[in-house]
Amino acid sequence: MITTKSEAIELQNHFDKLLCASLDYEDNVQISLSLTNKIKVEFGEDFICFTRNEFEPCYLSYRGSYSELLSIVTVIQNVLHNNSNSIDLLMESYDNISKLV
C-alpha cells in the first residue's frame, strides 16, 4: 500500500520510464488517471485510455497508422498486465490522493 505522495510519484515515474523504454519512444511517456477514471497513457501529442480492470483501450487520440496503433496498444497492454499489482497500487494512490501524506 502506498502511504505517501513521494511513493506515488516514484511509482508513477517508474511506469513512465518503463513505458517509454517498452515503446522505444524518444519523447516523454506519461501514465495518469483520466477524468473518466481510466488509465491514461500519453505519448507526445497522442494518448490512449484503458479500462482499469481489463486494460482494454476505450478511447484515444492518435495521429498515425492503424498498424502502428495496434502495436502500441499491444505493448502498453503487456506492460499493464505484467505489472498489474503495481498498477493497482498506482490507481489506488490516485483515488486516495487526498489521504496521502
Per-residue pLDDT, 97: 83
Per-residue pLDDT, 25: 82
Per-residue pLDDT, 34: 93
Q: Give the C-alpha separation, 77 to 4, whole Å.
A: 27
- Give pLDDT tens digits along the chain (101 positions): 888 999 999 999 999 999 999 998 877 899 999 999 999 999 989 999 999 989 999 999 999 999 999 999 999 999 999 999 999 999 999 888 888 88
User: Does this model's pTM top 0.85?
Assistant: yes
Contacts of 92 (CB under 8 A, 6+ apart): 1, 2
Contacts of 20 (CB under 8 A, 6+ apart): 28, 29
